[in-house]
Amino acid sequence: MLLVTWLTYGHPAVSTQTAFSSLKACEDARDAIPKYAERIKAEYEQRDKEAAQAANGPHTIPPSVTAVCTPQ
């Protein structure tokens, strides 16, 4: 079972649970999540950069994520 929790400033936590047929499949999915989180962080940073250039828009805080494989 893969447990994933996203934490975003000003919003409630969002958690999901996904069953996998093997620990290896779970770990492969878990290992992909930080890469996805980095892509989201880069998108936030790009928006901040554009907002700063446009009109000193507010700074946004990218979400953080935790992911854990557990026995079912």
**In the chain, where are the structural domains located?**
2-8+21-69
pLDDT in tens, 16-72: 999 999 999 999 999 999 999 999 889 888 887 777 666 665 667 788 999 999 987
Higher pLDDT, 4 or 51: 4
DSSP 23-40: HHHHHHHHHHHHHHHHHH
pLDDT of residue 47: 81
pLDDT of residue 32: 95
**CB contact at 8 A, 13 and 5:** yes
pLDDT of residue 49: 78
Higher pLDDT, 45 or 5: 5
Residue 37 in tokens: 């989180």
